[in-house]
Amino acid sequence: MLPVREPSGWPVQEGDRIMRALQLLLAVLALGFAGMIVYAIADGSFSQAGSWLISQPWGQVTLADLYFGFVLSALVIWWFERRLAVALFWILPIPFLGNVWTAIWFILRLPLLRERLTRR
């Protein structure tokens, strides 16, 4: 008998393992990034570092890239969440909490996101 497959083509149990591994990876990365933020806050002045960053061309490019990523994440969340209040709950903090916040959304929604994207 052939194994049951998901719409993505993966066998169901293997797909579950891959999903859990991706969720774990995102959680580890989010925690590591949150730790880096805490370290940076404890180490120095954000206003001095921010002033230096925006005075440099590559710093400006980095910030533009960061906020472009925030907009892309917000669009994915906007189209994915079915209730306005839930979408706004996840979107509005993004400019302040950054990709740690979007990582939490992806960790929670990854299985459902995959399910919706692989439907035929």
Is the residue at 80 inside a domain?
yes
Which residues lie closer than 8 Å to 17 by C-beta, 6 or more apart?
A: none
Q: Which domain holds residue 52?
A: 12-118
Is the residue at 21 inside a domain?
yes
- Each residue of 42-100: pLDDT tens digit? 988 888 888 999 999 999 999 999 999 999 999 999 999 999 999 999 999 999 999 99
Is the residue at 113 inside a domain?
yes
Is the residue at 7 inside a domain?
no
Is the residue at 64 inside a domain?
yes
Is the residue at 85 inside a domain?
yes
Is the residue at 4 inside a domain?
no
Query: Whole-model pTM?
Result: 0.79
Kindly report the three-state secondary structure assignment for every residue of 92-104: CCHHHHHHHHHHH
- Each residue of 15-35: pLDDT tens digit? 788 889 999 999 999 999 999
- Is 41's pLDDT higher than 80? yes
Is the residue at 77 inside a domain?
yes
How many domains does the chain fold into?
1
